[in-house]
Amino acid sequence: MNPADHHILIVEDEEGVASFVSQGLREEGYRISWAADGEKGLHAALDPEVDLVLLDLRLPFMNGVDVARSLRIHRPFIPILMLTAMDTVEDRVTGLRAGADDYLGKPFEFDELLARIEALLRRRRSSLPSLSAVDGRLRIDPVSRSVMWDAGDIELTRLEYRLLSFFVARQEETLSRDEILEVVWESAADRESNVVDVYVRYLRKKLEDVGCPPVLESVRGVGYRFHADA
């Protein structure tokens, strides 16, 4: 397992804890991002390139239990390692029932945290299903980050891949341009007023070029909807 292939999101409101964990994981080679509250953490975790979430139980705006429950709806297979300063049986049971795959009480040793992350990522790699749509003819492999229509590959840029993965993961939902920007675009500097529309046009053309029927519907005044049964 190559750590550089994995993106870990830390959802933690204590800056000292987040900094300590971020530094250690970066030194191990992982790609790291950080959200300081539950609402921002949930939005960030919807990014299809996030491979694992370190989730604090006690968070402002939206607690870790609610974040985990929402993630299990929208990204059911993403590993969640819950962190809690209140390491009681009740807290552990609440977190696990909400959808966490494992838990670790604070304070913790970094080596134990690292071992638990490695175990969850190994388990994820062996069981992670591909995303599919349009009667299974459109397939997205989240491990190799490849996209296929029938038996042929579709060459997408990194941003096009992220956009398509987000649409397929949330198929049949109407997604606003702001929501798409928040999840798919990494840099706020790249969030021009019409950038979503431009990349949807790119994506539509590449899908149509390989014979995929129209699947991206424009929803006037809102954004877009991906139709899985096009």
The domain locations on the chain are 3-127, 131-226
Q: Which CATH architecture has domain 3-127?
A: 3-Layer(aba) Sandwich (3.40)
Tell me the pairing of strands 52-56 and 102-105.
unpaired
Q: Is 51 in contact with 7 (CB distance < 8 Å)?
A: yes
What pLDDT sits at residue 182?
Answer: 74
Q: Which CATH architecture has domain 131-226?
A: Orthogonal Bundle (1.10)
Same fold, 3-127 and 131-226: no
How many angstroms separate the CA atoms of 202 and 101, rounded? Answer: 37
| pLDDT tens digit sequence for 213-222 | 999 999 998 9
Return per-residue pLDDT of the chain as tens, 230 residues. 788 889 999 999 999 999 999 999 999 999 999 999 999 999 899 888 899 999 998 899 988 888 988 887 678 778 999 988 766 677 667 777 777 889 888 888 999 999 999 999 887 654 455 678 888 899 887 656 789 999 789 999 988 988 998 898 888 889 998 888 877 876 554 556 789 999 999 999 999 999 999 999 999 989 999 987 75
| pTM tops 0.95 | no
How many angstroms separate the CA atoms of 70 and 98, rounded? Answer: 9
Phi, psi of 130 (to 5 degrees): -80, 155
